[in-house]
Amino acid sequence: MLTVASISAVRIRILTGILIVFTISPLVAAQSPDDRRISDPLSVVSAENPAAGPMPIAQLYYTRSITGPSWSPDGQWIVFTTNLTGRFNLWKVPAAGGFPIQLAQSDDRQYSAVWSPDGKWIVFEQDFGGGEIFDLFALPSDGGEAINLTNTEDVSETNPRWAPDGSMLAISYRPKTSSTTDIALLDWKTKKVRKLTDEQTKNREWNGAIWSADGKTIYATRTNAGYTDADVYRIDVATGKQENLTPHTGDVLYTLSSVSPDGKTLLITSNEKGGYQNVALVDVASKQRTWITDLKWEANSGDFSPDGKSFTYTVNADGQSMTYVFDRASGRASALGSVGGITVPAGEPTAYSPSGDRLLVSLQGSTRPPDLWVYDFARRNMRQLTFSAIASLNPSHLPASQLVHYKTFDGQTISAFLWMPFNLKRDGTNPGIVLPHGGPTGQTEDSFSKTAAALASRGYVCIAPNVRGSTGYGMEFQRANYKDLGGGDLQDEVYGAHFLVATGYVDAKKIGITGGSYGGYMAMIAIGRTPDVWAASVELFGITDWLTEQEHEEPALQQYDQSILGDPVKDRKSYEDASPLKYFKNAKAPLLILQGANDIRDPKEEAEQAETYLKREGKIVAAHYYPDEGHGFAKRENQIDAMQRTVEWFDKYLKGTP
């Protein structure tokens, strides 16, 4: 069992031959959340770097994003999604390395590609205009025309998983008007869809379908909308009969990630131990659990190897993630990677190669964008497979993140990542920006942030706090903003701004705030509820009024919001008190609104009413709507435009640049 006391010892047993070393944050993660030391703001220093300068925004966004890799059955190819052309389309690359080949072209997003067992077909999901109603498509793996398998305007089909014999696919199935997601079976020959589950509880959904080796059983997770309670089930494919393999009382998370090749053991993540996520094995026959980790950091289960002799898991320690490979015979875990940044297994449905001799890993850090690497177990070395950054993106020219901790208004410890620009004087004249994350059940990790890179390289001191409500610090902290959105969590952001001023670099009258989704919501409620803290704000696809949000957002998110704010009728006051609209009359900071027209999560009505109200009140506000985008901007030209507008807004109102 991996305990808090042994995590450092395990990290010493790092697999050798790794070719990459990330910049290690000056303040690295503590042994547990309880051991975090408060940072001295004056210990933060702006280093001298004659080569530093503003990173061109276009160059930042011509740095590609890569996601969703999948091994071919023969282990020779890897298909993945990348925006190499400015659109998220499917490409494939030889596993041995080489130039990638584009498989499909579309203006719309293509994700979750998986190979058929015979290697002849690749099935993937694609939506339309960012609207998140996905269809499943198939295309020949050696190239050809994509075929729409589902072609449904009112149902979103996602997450395809092939049956072992290739006769059907298990898919996620969500009607547009439903708050629940079920598991369905798509017959490969007839293309007919049959629902395997039929969820009747409005705030529950099924996900993560995994086939047994004989194709007779599917294992899956059933979770609630607030992600506070979940169980793992065994489902008979022929009859749909269900068996709960993790029965319990109260709210506890049990989520499935992998099934052993012999079908006897499940690899799961659970917060049964004190509300902190840990990794366990579940014996299918007895339902008994064997714990692999015992941490207060966030441990997440990964994949069994094809022979079942090992498995992977990750430990997210204060936003910095490390991959571990656990040998079942010896009971020992070996770390794969280096401290700092994010190292996680990557692959659908598994990161292991079909023969188990290699492992796909995604690596990134604050100055290096994510790329796919292949770890060879026999040679014990890591080889870079994709190259996302353009040549001009020199990591030495970008400020690296620093992990800091500060006390907030009620004595809680808040973790945050801070980007200190080069060549600043500690004279209290520089601008600062707070970067709230999305969610609220999310976390800023030690990843490559184009927003932070664009702003910090232009002299803005940036801080991204993991405020109450964030994941990664246990369920009690995650639920600390229940019926208090825009309350304690906003104060945690405010105290992040105070930390910037306390470094001696930042002028308290030159602080801005920007974020997307829940971060956009924070950027709006901040200027109304704490108006004297902020000099400018940029919000992307956020929430203006939680009550109108309930009317317009997609049904599953209605249930999610209710899990945090309560019932919109009985708890109406908590919705009203949490809405930026209630406080806009107090706003002083100019607000820029950036919104996708096809957003089903935080619809454009939210942005429009914020713009209308603030204009009517004579406040400084501007808005721009992207007609071909949804929640988050996927098209490169829109990403560049949004960041240019953001920089110009802050330059005008924080630096006084015309």
Lowest mean pLDDT among 25-34, 404-413, 516-525: 25-34
Strands (E), 165-304: 168-175, 182-187, 193-195, 204-211, 217-224, 230-236, 242-244, 254-259, 265-270, 278-283, 289-291, 293-294, 298-304
Which tens digit of pLDDT belongs to each residue from 554-581? 999 999 999 999 999 999 999 999 999 9
Residue 228 lies in a domain: no
Those residues whose C-beta lies under 8 Å from the C-beta of residue 169, and which sit 6 or more positions away, are 123, 136, 160, 161, 162, 163, 185, 186, 188
The pLDDT of residue 29: 65
Rounded distance, CA 630 to CA 597, Å? 6
Which tens digit of pLDDT belongs to each residue from 478-532? 999 999 999 999 999 999 999 999 999 999 999 999 999 999 999 999 999 999 9
Is residue 182 classed exposed, middle or buried when 0-12, 13-18 and 19+ CB atoms within 10 A define those classes? Answer: buried
The pLDDT of residue 327: 97
Please say whether the beta carbons of 4 and 299 come within 8 A. Answer: no
Neighbours of 437 (CB within 10 A): 22
Residue 14 pLDDT exceeds 50 = no
The pLDDT of residue 658: 79
Q: What's the average model confidence in pLDDT over 611-632?
A: 97
Residue 327 lies in a domain: yes
Which region, left, alpha or beta, applies to residue 588 given φ > 0 means left and ψ of -120 to 50 means alpha? alpha
The pLDDT of residue 640: 98
Q: What's the average model confidence in pLDDT over 168-187?
A: 98
Q: What's the average model confidence in pLDDT over 63-67?
A: 95
Tell me the pTM: 0.95
Please say whether the beta carbons of 111 and 132 come within 8 A. Answer: no
Same domain, 388 and 479: no
Residue 319 lies in a domain: yes
What interhelical angle do 488-502 and 518-529 show, nearest 10?
80
Count structural domains, the chain.
2
Same domain, 485 and 413: yes
Residue 15 pLDDT exceeds 90 = no
Those residues whose C-beta lies under 8 Å from the C-beta of residue 553, and which sit 6 or more positions away, are 561, 600, 601, 602, 603
Local confidence band at 26 (pLDDT 50, 70, 90 cut-offs): very low
Q: Which of 372, 397, 422 is the last residue of a domain?
A: 397
Lowest mean pLDDT among 8-22, 40-54, 271-285, 351-365: 8-22
Lowest mean pLDDT among 13-27, 504-518, 591-605: 13-27
Q: How far does Cα 583 stand from its chain's mean position?
A: 30
Residue 32 lies in a domain: yes
Residue 581 lies in a domain: yes
Report residue 82 as tokens.
């990348």
Those residues whose C-beta lies under 8 Å from the C-beta of residue 249, and which sit 6 or more positions away, are none
Those residues whose C-beta lies under 8 Å from the C-beta of residue 573, and which sit 6 or more positions away, are none
Please say whether the beta carbons of 600 and 630 come within 8 A. Answer: yes
% of the chain surpassing 90 pLDDT: 94
CATH number at residue 338: 2.120.10.30
Q: Is the peptide bond before 73 cis (omega within 30 degrees of 0)?
A: no
Which tens digit of pLDDT belongs to each residue from 309-328? 999 999 999 999 999 999 99
Angle at 25 between CA 22 and CA 29, to 5 degrees: 110
Which tens digit of pLDDT belongs to each residue from 89-148? 999 999 999 999 999 999 999 999 999 999 999 999 999 999 999 999 999 999 999 999
Q: Which of 368, 397, 426 is the last residue of a domain?
A: 397
Three state DSSP letters for 562-616:
HHHHCCCCCCHHHHHHCCHHHCHHHCCCCEEEEEECCCCCCCHHHHHHHHHHHHH
Residue 634 lies in a domain: yes
The pLDDT of residue 27: 43
Is residue 644 classed exposed, middle or buried when 0-12, 13-18 and 19+ CB atoms within 10 A define those classes? Answer: middle
Q: What's the average model confidence in pLDDT over 439-447?
A: 96
The pLDDT of residue 5: 34
Local confidence band at 31 (pLDDT 50, 70, 90 cut-offs): confident
Local confidence band at 338 (pLDDT 50, 70, 90 cut-offs): low
The pLDDT of residue 28: 52
Same domain, 427 and 391: no
Same domain, 440 and 367: no
Residue 466 pLDDT exceeds 70 = yes
Same domain, 427 and 517: yes
Same domain, 428 and 320: no
Same domain, 314 and 278: yes
Angle at 236 between CA 230 and CA 240, to 5 degrees: 80
Same domain, 298 and 363: yes
Residue 587 pLDDT exceeds 80 = yes
Those residues whose C-beta lies under 8 Å from the C-beta of residue 74, and which sit 6 or more positions away, are 119, 354
The pLDDT of residue 30: 83
> What is the sign, positive or negative, of the torsion defined by CA atoms of 565, 568, 573, 575?
positive
Which tens digit of pLDDT belongs to each residue from 212-265? 999 999 999 999 999 999 999 999 999 999 999 999 999 999 999 999 999 999
Residue 368 lies in a domain: yes
Same domain, 570 and 479: yes
Same domain, 446 and 523: yes
Q: Which domain holds residue 40?
A: 1-44+257-397
Report residue 307 as tokens.
């022979």
Same domain, 265 and 387: yes
The pLDDT of residue 7: 35
Straight-line distance from the first to the last Cα atom of the chain, in angstroms, rounded to the nearest whole number: 59
Residue 141 lies in a domain: no
Same domain, 627 and 519: yes
Residue 634 pLDDT exceeds 90 = yes
CATH number at residue 418: 3.40.50.1820
% of the chain surpassing 70 pLDDT: 95
Q: Which of 350, 379, 397 is the last residue of a domain?
A: 397
